[in-house]
Structure 1
Amino acid sequence: MDAGRHADGDAPRRIRMRVAGLVIAAVLLVLAAIASLAIGNRAIDPVTVLTALAAYDDSNPLHLMVQQLRLPRTLLGIVVGAALAVCGALIQAFTRNPLADPGILGVNAGASFTVTFAVAVLGLNTPGAYVPFALLGAFVLTLLVYALGSLGTSGATPMKLTLAGVALGAAFTGFTTAIVLQNRSTFDVMRFWGVGSIGGRSLDQLTWAAPLIVVGLLIGLLCARSLNALALGDDLAHSLGVRVGVVRILVIVSVTLLAGTSVAAAGPIAFVGIMIPHVVRWFTGPDQRWVLAYSILVGPTFLLLADVLGRIALPNGELRVGIITGLLGAPVLVALVRRKKVSGL
């Protein structure tokens, strides 16, 4: 009985710690956003940044820089970072594979292929016009990976889904490269977009990207409790009243919206989707409700800080955020997956 009372007493304490962690994560995101607005080729002090947001003066060049250049970049980094992190967490829970992410499962490759097709064949050249094609590519590749990974008597196992994703992702990446190399104008467009960047965007792009990402996040959050049950196996999830088929469809829709919109808006950005859920589970454990809530805050914080680092890494010019996330993500991921406690779902 003492052990039971002790366990009951620990539950509220764990909840308080997790809520406190969310508050800390929110504060860190605010600080990262201020840094994103203040740091660049020309440093702007935080007081001027806040003044530009609260009392905008269009005659002040620093205010113009904040409002027209850095604010769209920062807001896009927030929504894309949240989308990538939550998308990775959903895919890892959906496949029960801690190494899964939109890149490894081929979702980004599908979106990139259809965007490249739209640029090369249809002549589209604005990110807003890419959206339907990116969503279509992400959706089709997700379905193909799941269909191939489900073949055989064992059904959709994490290993089979990963192999199917890697194979299809490599194939569609090859198709994308072939299209780009055959068309010089397409190459000029895609060589910058394909690296992954949140710079050079306008507030107009948020009018189509943000609503799609918000819908994807809400669907993902609604699936969190059911994903906890699915982690125990389909049969036990059924016995707990979970409609497994419906949950899977909703997760696929959420992943399609999050990955497709992110790729259309910022290009394929690696490692955020696979690394952030690992880091988050270090503090929250496997409960998907907390994993997704933390990912919404930690993902954009990491992406904004990576973008800031890219701006100051070179004496002249900047490194695109997709390069920085790759450079930072690879060693961090290696360190994380070596810890069995963190790597498991």
Structure 2
Amino acid sequence: MAPPAPAPAPDVVATRRPGRSRALWLLLGVTALVAAAAASVTIGSRDVDWSDVVAALGGSSETLAEAAVTKRIPRTLLAVVVGGSLAVAGAVMQGVTRNPLADPGILGVNMGASLAVLVGIAWFGLTAPSTHIWVGIAGAGISAVFVYAVGSLGRSGATPLKLALAGTATSAAFASFITAVVLPRGDISDRFQSWRVGGVGGASFDTIVLAAPFFVAGLLVCLACARGLNSLALGDDVAAGLGERVAITRGAAAFGAVVLCGAATAIAGPISFVGLVVPHLFRMLTGVDHRWLLPLCALGGASLLTAADVVGRVVARPSEIDVGIITALIGAPFFIHVVRRQKLRAL
């Protein structure tokens, strides 16, 4: 009689269930994204039927309903791309800085990209959307380096509170600079009022196609750094002991996040809190493994921003509320909750 098979190691048993639950959440994330996209195409100031959607996809725009669908499709696609990018960037920034309060909006990265794009348009006459994306990425990178440098000053280094304060102060300063640039320029002030809040109403396929390579490159870089981010979560010394090149991993992951933030801000404006809410939510649901967390954040961020855009269209019919306002209403209470929880843990 053959001896009984040895029992699996405890760590193997412990990792089976989380893997299944993560796969389930991944499936639910895809389902939520499909539902949000369907709602975005069919719901608005004028609700449409699926027959109108099919006709619009076939190239028809003869009726008002079909014309509405034709405008909503690129808007929905832009919300999906921007929301997913901001959520992944937020998760990466939190992993790089080991700061639970990190977010492209809170750390001033989005506002830095906004200021760079606006200065390029107002002072240097930059008009090409591709140029806006490059300038936005440069502004996001400069702002990220500046905030991290300021937050690292002092004996204790870059603590979560210091980074949040540095980012908030930098965002306020950049917002003042933006106002100073826009006010004397009546020719651009009306055009950028909605963009400064953050929205996807001006989406077009041409702009999305131009920005797509930047989003793909940034996402691939972040996904490639997922295993390294898991090592960084253990501390720099432990990560180095495991063979991780800490500086290279941190720099590459930060670069990918900056590319995502800069491109998203250049085409949709500074949208805050998506990168804070979504990563925290999925960490509570699925754990801290970035190999799963980043794809889930991409789906969750895309779903959140698309749903927020639908809400903004519904609550103010026949007008609409920019999606940046909706995400702020959702994210601000969540930010206060996270701060209070971190404070209680420190006691």
Q: Same fold (TM over 0.5)?
A: yes
The match for 2:32 is 28
Q: How many residues align?
A: 339
Separation of aligned partners in 2, 1:77 and 1:330 = 20
Q: Secondary structure at the residue paired with 2:158?
A: coil
Matched residue, 2:295: 293
Which residue of the partner structure matches residue 3 of structure 2?
none
> Which residue matches 1:73?
75
**Residue number in structure 1 paired with 2:189:** 187
Residue 243, structure 1, aligned to residue 245, structure 2: yes
Contact 1:148/1:164 (8 A) holds in 2 = yes
The residue aligned with 2:143 is 141
1:92-171 to 2 correspondences below 5 Å: 92-125=94-127, 127-152=129-154, 154-171=156-173
Kindly provide the CA deviation profile for residues 195-214 of structure 1, in whole angstroms up to 9, marking residues without a partner as x. Answer: 11101221000111122111
Query: Cα 1:337–1:48, aligned 2, differ >3 Å: closer, same or farther?
Result: farther
Shift of 1:104: 1.4
Q: 2:28, 2:338 → 1: CA distance? A: 22
Displacement after TM superposition at 1:145 (Å): 1.9
Unaligned runs of 5+ in 2: 1-5
8 Å CA contact 1:128, 1:265 repeated in 2: no
Moved more, 43-52 or 288-297: 43-52
Deviation of residue 61 (structure 1)?
4.7
Tell me if structure 1 keeps the 8 A contact 2:107–2:164. Answer: yes
Structure 1 residues 253, 185: closer, same or farther in 2, change over 3 A?
A: same
TM-score normalized with structure 2 length: 0.90
- In the alignment, which of 45, 50, 53 is matched to residue 49 of structure 2? 45
Deviation at 1:3, TM superposition (A): 10
Instruction: Tell me if structure 2 keeps the 8 A contact 1:106–1:168.
Output: yes
Q: Is the 8 A contact 1:32 1:301 kept in 2?
A: yes
Contact 1:307 1:320 in 2 (8 A): yes
Flag the 1:4–1:148 CA change in 2: closer, same or farther, 3 A. Answer: farther
Contact preservation (8 Å) 2:106, 2:272: no
Q: Which residue of 2 aligns with 1:63?
A: 66
Root-mean-square deviation (CA, aligned residues, Å) is 2.3
Indicate conservation of the 8 Å contact 1:95/1:161, yes or no. no
Q: Does the CA contact (< 8 Å) of 1:125 and 1:189 recur in 2?
A: no
**Separation (CA, whole Å) in 2 of partners of 1:157 and 1:306:** 31
Amino acid at match of 1:29: L
Q: CA deviation at 1:62?
A: 3.3
Gaps of 5+ in 1: none
Q: Does structure 2 retain, via aligned residues, the 8 Å contact 1:195–1:269? A: yes
Contact 2:45 2:317 in 1 (8 A): no
**TM superposition shift of 1:58:** 4.6
Residue deviations 1:274-300 (CA, integer Å, cap 9, x gap): 111111111111222221111010001
Deviation at 1:6, TM superposition (A): 5.3
